[in-house]
Structure 1
Amino acid sequence: MKKLSNNAWLRNSAALQALACAGAGFAALAAPAFAQDTPAGTVAEEPEATIVVTGSILRQDVNNTPSPVSVLTSESLEQRGIQTTQEALQRISSNNGAALTNSFSANGAFAAGASAVSLRGLTTSSTLVLFDGQRAAYYPLADDATRNFVDLNTIPDDIVDRVEVLRDGASSTYGADAIAGVINVITKKQFKGIGGRIEGGLTERGDGENYRISLTAGTGDLGRDGYNIYASGFWYRQNALYNRDRPYPYNSQDLSGICRDGVCGPQVGPNGGSINPSSTGYVGWADATSSSDRRSFATTFFVAPTNSNSALDDPLGRYQFLNPAAGCIAGETPYTLTAAELADTEQNAFAPTTVCQGDLVRQYGVISPRIERFGGALKATVAVTDDIEASFTANYLQSKVSYTGEPATIRANGPAGIAFPRFSTYNSGPPNAPGSFALALPVFVCPLVNGLPQATCDATNGTLNPNNPFAAQGLQARILGRIPNLTEYNETLSRTYRGAFSISGPVTDNWNFAADVVGMVTDLTRTSKGYVYIQNLLNVVADGSYNFVNPLSNSQSVLDYLAPDNITKSKSELYAAQVSFNGTLFELPAGPVQLGFGGQIRLEAIDAPSANPDFAGPTNRYFVLNAFGTKGERVVRSGFFELNVPAFEGFEVNASGRYDNYNSGQDAFSPKIGFRYKPIDALTLRGTWSRGFRIPSFAEANALPTTGFVNNTASTFPESYLAQFGCTRDTFTSCPTYLSSSSYGQTQLASPDLKPEKSTSWTAGVIFEPTRNIRLSVDYYNIKKKGAIIPAPFGPALAAYYSGQAIPAGYNIIQDSPDPQNPGVLPRVAYVQAPLINATTIRSEGLDFAATGRFDFGDVRFTSSVEATYIINLDTTFADGSRESYEGTIGNYSLTAGSGTPEWHGSWTNTLEWKRWTLSATAEFFGGYNLSAEDVEGPGASGGCGLLSPRFVKCNVDDYVTVDLTTSYKLNDNFTLYLNVLNVFDDLPPIDPVTYGANNYNPVQGGTGIYGRAYRLGVRANF
């Protein structure tokens, strides 16, 4: 694998060198801010010098503001071959860390079906997304069950004129959530004629098909006719991509082919065990009820005799095939244990002589879900008078994201409940203490009474269980396996409705007004199929109506009863009205003193009920399905101002502030001051200082308890505890699987008394423009967020529990079942419950580099644009003074799903335009990172080869570079043909077996690179 990685880097290096030769002299942001050619069928908006720039209520030049602003035009995105606005935003250099990509939908994301960016690595909830300068409704589901955000998939791509990215805090203008920056999606002001496109694409491997059709038609000219109205519609589909469609190791959970220094990874086997050719063979038949084990269960059913249904008691013998004649089913292969493996009583005391080797990733893994979107937009702009202009916009967008999962599980923890703390599979009898029972087939089966198992079922009222091979001996059969012909399926269907009205114009010769009203609603329907309903499982076990011996013979009606469809409807709403005024107070020698002020009132609401509540008891719910839910509503009243003073020639000072008052009891004042100084024409200095805030999300303040599972590592347990199992931290992988292959649930409790997070940030930058066509800039940013909302650290509760100390106040520990091999030892932790608290300080510090240039050589125009962001520091300081650093590592591991914080992210686009031809090449660079995380391994682990870094891979994940090519040819005045070649060198992402958002690669760093080389062909038409 190392050789392949080096070859990939050499190919990318050659490409970069070629690009460097073409664009020598450019080393560092932003998409070109030069005037763009107006494509046929459109009319450009006002000149840049007169637009209202994101982050301001005054009319300014986008290139001459105190705050750094990047502009992504629709034309520049076309040149790069970027298909959707959400993809463009995922690629901006300041997006890093805890971003949410579409691929996460198929990998257990709480906010399935959505996409969001994380500017500065400060999470999705610290980035504000606007449509035409107005707020948008949150996605009904929360990222990691805590962070509310705006779904980028709700952006109507084909009417987008440009996207402005304010790389600075802007709470003084917009209020909450603008700590890390603002993304403002600006739609076309007017459109004349008819325009559209048809395109299709697929990968070189013949999969990942995607299609797009759009049509826009408009009439009227604002300048000549006093009005413009246009309508637009589109349809887009991207087919699912599966792990089996990509080469090793992305297509398998078998890591034995990944080796370093003679050490190879484990070959993951069934039921929690593994076969590792480089060590001891098969180890670890799992009989525990840990939630982590369910992912490794083979589909084939295995049973073991027992006279008890309690997980505290060992089976009376080894597991065996329930149906020996059928053998391994559903694509699994048999593996016969050796005599030495069977003799390993520590690891394989109850292992069968033959196990079924199933690779769930190869069989069922999904890289990216199926996405289908369509929608329409209508925009009408009218000159009410010669000076006053009004516009109305209406949007509808539907997005469906769906994927299939694994065969249905019948043995696992239900997600941590609302009323009940924990549930492991119960037997068919009445439940006892949570976690005390394993699923067992009873000796007798009896008819249900009132839809429930009878309290007593024996020879007097029942018959011997045909599913239990030990029934004649009077023994129960403990069972493991999955339902082979019942596959989990998930679908999120969001429908977004938005209407906005704005009117603006002069009040006097020197003063203007603007009034805006917006309403936006997102209806979300979540459909889950193939998930076993616990009580129904217990029922079919009790009455024998499900055939476990020949599971493929069960009727569809039985399967439908066992796994009834789960349909949950959620809604998010936003309604806002705003009025503002701006004008000139008086003139100074250097220019006019401008003042803007205004006010806003808005209503935000979310109603997202739990898809898996347990108010009716721990068995009246589903296995595995997320129990998260939240509901809330709040009204915000705000007032704001902005003052711009040209103190002397070339020097301007800008000051602004905003006060927000929430009816939920919080309030905040956000000031900001900035300057711009131009001592000479070629040089501009700029800087800002501001304070901002993030209001606690509905998910943080009002959510139902929810749980995420975390693998236990050596650092979880003190040495004294491990010694009772005959191992140490250094030999943790050799500990019994009760410890080494286990997990615990981190249950987060909502906290209605949380305070807003408060931030202080400042920027300092320099812009150098030696000629009209060349612009270079460097900007430093420093953001410090205090009172950051986090779960109370789980470590102190774990340390106290395993050391026999009192559990700290505010925590609750729920024990798991004891180890069958060490029943007298304190059981491991099943769940830690902790509230959210305002407890930490988070700092993000870095540099943004930018260079753009445009040159004409006769009929040829060459444009080069580079953007890059370097993270100097991203760290957290806790209340006790301890500090964790994440830059350049896979941390913050818990916050980012292990997608990490690469220090570098950037892209470089070079474009040649010659007569009817256009050719562009874009190299995107995502830095590597170290497989360490201080939030898991503790301070000082950063940059080391720590506990998270397996011995069979390098401690450092490689840098990742992809190169895209796009070319277009203007057939005539009406038609343009274009071809995109994505990932030209077919370089797949670096291997990373630690990140858990994808299989053996990082879904944020890898992005769309996992598709490999792909082609997209289309035609644009304008009349």
Structure 2
Amino acid sequence: MKLRMKSMPLAILQVVASGALTMAVSQPAFAQQKEEVVPQRVVITGSLISRADKETASPVQVLTAEDIAKSGYTSVAEVLSNLSANGQGALGSGFSGAFANGGAGVSLRGLTVGLTLVLIDGHRMAPYPLSDDAQRQFVDVSAIPFDAIDHIEVLKDGASSVYGSDAIAGVINIILKKSFNGTSIKTDAGTSQHGGGTTYKAAITHGFGDLATDGYNVFGSLEMRHAEAIKLSDRDNQIWANGDWSSRGGMNLTRGVPNAQNSRLIATSSPFFYNPAGTGGVNNPANFQFLDPSCNYNKYMAGGCAIRDTVSFLQPETKNVNALVGFTKNLGDDWKLAVKASVFQRESENNRGVPATFSPSSFTGNTSLVPGANPKIVNVYGSTVFPASYPLNTLGAPARLYGYIPGLDPSSTQKNKATSSRLVADLNGNWNGWDIGAALGYTRVKTDIDYSGYVNRAALYQAMTRASNPFSPLGGNSAADLAAVSPHFNNQATDTLTFADVHGVHEVMELAGGTMNFAAGLSYTHKNLNAPSADLLAQGVVGNGAAYVFGKETNTAAYAQLSAPVLKNLELEASARYDHYDTYGHSFTPKAGFKYKPMDMLSLRGTYSRGFRAPNAAENGIAGSFFSFHAINDPILCKDGNPKTAGNVPAACNFAPAFVQQTTKDLSPEKSKSYTFGAIFEPTRNFSTTFDYYRIEVNNQINTAAGLPGFVPTYVRNAIFPVDIADGKGGTYSANPSVGTIAYGSSGYVNSGGTTTSGIELDFLYKQKLGDLGNIKADLTFNHMISYVLSSNGIDYELAGTHGPSVISGDTGNPKNRAQLTLGWDKGPLAVTTTFNWVGSFSALDPSVDVTECKDVASVSGRAYFYGKDTPAGYCHVPSFMSTDLNVTYKIGKNWMIKGSILNLFDRKPPIDVATYGNSNNLTAYNATLHQAGAVGRFFSLGANYSF
């Protein structure tokens, strides 16, 4: 197999690899010069049994606090987003339209955030109440404190035999500080070269007491971080953030610019009346009446009345306040109690920058989504055409009103405050030859959301048509009118998880290679998700109903593990777990692994495991949501897909219909089989490399039926009201269509098909002391996806290196290759670290939604860049992208350290991706999950640490 890493700094890699191999060949004595040090036994993620050798049968990547600090980032979400194993289905903060707005999640092996388990100190945390795609539960890593972390372990293997549900693709275990002595104060400040994103962070940690001498330790940590928003207007001079596609074979989508998609009728800088029955239609200036002299017909048609988007976010404003208190006490007789209490709070403001406009011809109503009731279309107002007698209408005929509603917030906005609370006690000791570990914990995540910018359409048109002092489209309306037309409202959702766990490890017998150990344990977990939608949304008063979920789940489990060093060079492992859920029944998940060391410098390892994901409350509880994904043509109102065909409704062509997601009670869990096989090569103490092959087969997956190939939806249609219909001559006329436009379709969840992914991962580490020249270190992680097959309805779709499956999460794309290379040099007090984060190129096609030709690529996203035209071939491929981060630290004495960072050092721009919908809005065309560093641009920061 031939791997190509386009745009990766191959020269650097070749130099590093050449130097490492030279050292391996020319200095073999290093392997014999290791000092005799008694290794410390530690517990590695994925195991219950402590070990001296940190290289286990399963591949584990460890990020130390030093590694994290040298990245130059200031949030955990930013650090984890660049993992080479993080792939398709990851969730970033740049997707403001996500169901789980404000949250960030990791998707190991590209199998979505729902199949990656995130632990804190080895224990479960309550999931974020707002699920990804209103389905997949995940832990929001954006709310985890940065400076309280001791290290992060990334287990790149299935681990359901130890942890149970969700650990199919792997486990992220975030280990917080266990103890601290003294005081540490850290500050950071940074800003983007191109505007926006200015970030301030400060943290203080203080602790006292020594476990060895005092028998206790107490510490506390407080961290505050504020990052300003990066607005679209900060970057709209860039081609990837500019809505004008007219020079690229498409349309000008800038707000307020008439084009073919909007039939040359669109809200602009001045409200205007339009007579749809007038001779000549939009080509006749006499049919227009602009209410503000700043715009006129000629200026409007030339695009001169456009409105610059100054409110959309490429990156939302965020505020974090995190507090952590830890207490550890030696109880005597080898028993120790550790208690940690924490409150992590993250605030963010999310919008899609779409200002509220008048409904020009008719308002067909909203769809309510009330728990326990069938969806129904409510608040239908009907025709909103203003008669000739309307005071402001001087056209002498009934006219439509186009414009933005004055006085309202500039877009529909959700201010999200997520508070994660956690109290966990760990008790460890020895009893009768057993090493005992017991834990008890309560965790809760609460989201408080304030809504603004939403419109009560019925109240608006009642106010506009009342006889006395009607609501004016030019502004100057009363506060009472504005409150009635656009009420502010809020909502709260909570997700709690309580757990109790006890396990013990016992030495069984001596084998040729060492001591056989046996571990066994019991666990109890209870979840309670209470996530209603805001009442005004649920009732359809100010928009279509929002997602809601209610459900409880109790899980009890028993598990065991055996570690047997049967020979000096062969270690065997086996583990198994039995889970019982009160929602569906039980699951049994075994795992086996080996590590074989045929020679000192070489080890072989492999695992086989089964895993599962239990259906959650969003899938089998009381839940409902709206969603939409790729574009379709209305099978009745736009049969041939051509918006210019006589009789077609242009707005019904190439649009993304809404679906109402419904739950299914009798779902079975998703199940998996995982295989890994790898080698560890350590010719010297300075050089090591690991090579691992993985294959994961997930079956019985829980999918929305609408996302499956071959699904034929049943659409619920609005009442029939006048719409624009194509006249076959390039124009339109207003008339009643044969049927109402599509309001929504319904879709349940089904266990169907599966996903099989395989790949290889390389981890390369080289360290060398150069005497007076200092020390160097090179660390490369590289992931190559060999295959990603989605099986559905008896058809296999190969999606590795494509944009599929686009229906998942934020339509992130599925590149085959990702890599991260870190080069470090230090001498005395000075340390310089350069990190290269590289994402390979991939196709914009998605065969799973029948997009197999370049001309249809834009339909994957449902965006109208090339409305009515074929997508140019140049956009069929998303180029590779690499950001380079530079971090420099300098120690001043024993107390001070100063640092400076430049992220995206070479100011690389994000490649254009017309197939993704996971970004800010229709005006942008970049991949916010994979290429957000390019959208931010070059970012400078300075910081200082003081410890005493």
Pair in the same fold by TM > 0.5: yes
Partner of residue 224 from structure 1, selected from 196, 201, 213 = 213
After TM superposition, the structure 1 stretch with the greater mean CA deviation from structure 2, 496-505 or 59-68, is 59-68
Which residue number corresponds to residue 249 of structure 1? 239
CA positional deviation for 1:420: 6.4
CA deviations 1:244-280 (Å, max 9, x no partner) are 11232233211224x3xxxx23112567942xxxxxx
Structure 1 residue matching 2:639: 3-state secondary structure? helix
Aligned to 1:781: 694
| Equivalent residue, structure 2, for 1:279 | none
1:539 matched residue in structure 2: 462
Matching residue of 1:503: 427
Q: 1:186 aligns with which of 169, 172, 175?
A: 175
- Residue by residue, what CA displacement relative to the aligned partner does 1:326-380 show, whole Å, maximum 9, x if unpaired? 145xxxx76639xxxxxxxxxxxxxx978774355x4332100000001211101
Structure 1 residue matching 2:619: 3-state secondary structure:
helix
- Whether 2:121 is the aligned partner of 1:132: answer yes
Contact 1:228 1:380 in 2 (8 A): yes
Pairing 1:846-925 to 2, within 5 Å after superposition = 846-859=759-772, 860-878=774-792, 880-925=793-838
Alignment of 1:162-181 (within 5 A): 162-181=151-170
In structure 1, give the amino acid aligned to 2:263: W
Deviation at 1:1012, TM superposition (A): 1.1
Match of 1:843 among 730, 739, 756: 756
CA 1:269–1:493: 2 relative to 1, 3 Å: closer
Alignment partner, residue 646 of structure 1? 565
Tell me the secondary structure at the aligned position of residue 552 of structure 1: coil
2:47 paired with 1:56: yes
1:298 to 265, 268, 293: 268
Letter in 2 for 1:248: Q
**1:96 is matched with which residue?**
87
* 2:918 aligned with 1:993: no
Alpha-carbon offset, residue 541 of structure 1: 3.0
Q: Specify the SS of the correspondent of 2:139.
A: coil
Q: For 1:236-275, what aligned pairs fall within 5 Å after superposition? A: 236-246=225-235, 247-257=237-247, 259=248, 264-268=249-253, 273-274=258-259
Sort the Cα spacing of 1:545 and 1:984 in 2 relative to 1 into closer, same or farther, 3 A. Answer: farther
Structure 1 stretch 152-161 or stretch 554-563: which is displaced more?
Answer: 554-563
Give the Å deviation of 1:563. 0.8
Pair 821,163 (structure 1): closer, same or farther in 2 beyond 3 Å: same
Aligned to 1:408: 356
Distance 2:711 2:553 in 1: 36
1:155 Cα offset (Å):
1.2
Please give the alpha-carbon distance, in whole angstroms, between the structure 1 residues aligned to 2:638 and 2:387: 40
Superposition pairs for residues 36-55 of structure 1, below 5 Å?
Answer: 49-55=40-46
Counterpart contact for 1:192–1:218, Cα < 8 Å: yes
Is residue 229 of structure 2 the alignment partner of residue 285 of structure 1? no
1:740 equivalent in structure 2: 653
The secondary structure found in structure 1 opposite 2:212 is helix
TM-score, structure 1 length as denominator?
0.82
Aligned to 2:880: 959
- For residues 230-629 of structure 1, the aligned pairs below 5 Å read 230-246=219-235, 247-257=237-247, 259=248, 264-268=249-253, 273-274=258-259, 284-285=262-263, 297-298=267-268, 300-305=270-275, 324-327=290-293, 336=298, 357-359=305-307, 362-403=309-350, 405-411=353-359, 416-418=367-369, 419=373, 421=375, 423=377, 426-427=380-381, 437-441=382-386, 465-469=390-394, 476-486=398-408, 487-488=410-411, 489-508=413-432, 510-543=433-466, 549-611=472-534, 618=540, 621-623=541-543, 627-629=546-548
Q: Which amino acid aligns with 2:292?
A: A
Residues 129, 529 of structure 2: 8 Å contact kept? yes
Shift of 1:792: 1.1
Partner of 1:17: 11
Once the two structures are aligned, what percentage of the paired residues are identical? 28
Q: Matched residues in 2 for 1:936 and 1:26: separation? A: 46
* Distance across 2 between alignment mates of 1:26 and 1:727: 66
* TM-aligned CA distance change 1:586 to 1:952, over 3 Å: closer
Q: CA RMSD in A?
A: 3.3
Normalising by the residue count of structure 2, what TM-score does the alignment of the two structures yield?
A: 0.88
* Paired residues of 1:413 and 1:623 also in contact (CA < 8 A): no
In the alignment, structure 1 segments of 5+ residues that lack a partner are 1-8, 28-45, 275-281, 288-295, 308-313, 338-351, 428-436, 444-463, 729-733, 800-806
CA distance in 2, matches of 1:779, 1:737: 52
1:87 CA displacement: 1.4
- Partner secondary structure for residue 865 of structure 1: strand
Moved more, 681-690 or 533-542: 533-542
Instruction: Work out the CA distance in 2 between the residues paired with 1:669 and 1:272.
Output: 59
> Hey, what's the Cα distance between the residues in 1 that align with 2:757 and 2:656?
31
Letter paired with 2:620: A
Q: Distance in 2 between matches of 1:771 and 1:413?
A: 72
Match for residue 669 of structure 1 among 588, 604, 607:
588
Aligned-partner residue type, residue 72 of structure 1: L
The size of the alignment, in residue pairs, is 894
Superposition deviation, residue 1007 in structure 1: 2.4
2: CA distance between counterparts of 1:390 and 1:322? Answer: 77
Label 1:713 to 1:635 Cα distance change in 2 as closer, same or farther (>3 A).
closer
**Offset of residue 968 of structure 1:** 0.7
SS of the residue 1:778 aligns to: strand
Q: Name whichever of 659-668 and 15-24 sits farther off.
A: 15-24
Deviation at 1:398, TM superposition (A): 1.1
Contact 2:379 2:458 in 1 (8 A): no
Quickly say closer, same or farther: Cα 1:814–1:696, change in 2 above 3 A. farther
Tell me which amino acid in the other structure corresponds to 1:994: A
Report the Cα offset of residue 408 of structure 1. 2.2
**2:598 matched residue in structure 1:** 679
Does the 8 Å CA contact 1:612/1:622 hold for their aligned counterparts?
no
Distance in 2, Cα, partners of 1:466 & 1:524? 46
2-side partners of 1:543 and 1:719: how far apart?
A: 35
Q: Which runs of 5+ in 2 are unaligned?
A: 22-36, 727-735, 861-869
Q: Secondary structure of 2:748's match?
A: strand
**SS in structure 2 at match of 1:744:** coil
Helix, strand or coil for the counterpart of 1:519?
A: strand
Q: 1:324 to 1:578 in 2, by over 3 A?
A: same
CA contact (8 A) 2:91 2:810 kept: no
TM-aligned CA distance change 1:319 to 1:685, over 3 Å: farther
* 1:148 correspondence with 2:148: no
Amino acid corresponding to residue 529 of structure 1 in structure 2: S
Q: Structure 1 residues 695 and 561 mapped into 2: Cα distance closer, same or farther (>3 Å)?
A: same
Amino acid at match of 1:628: A
1:784: Cα distance to partner?
Answer: 0.8
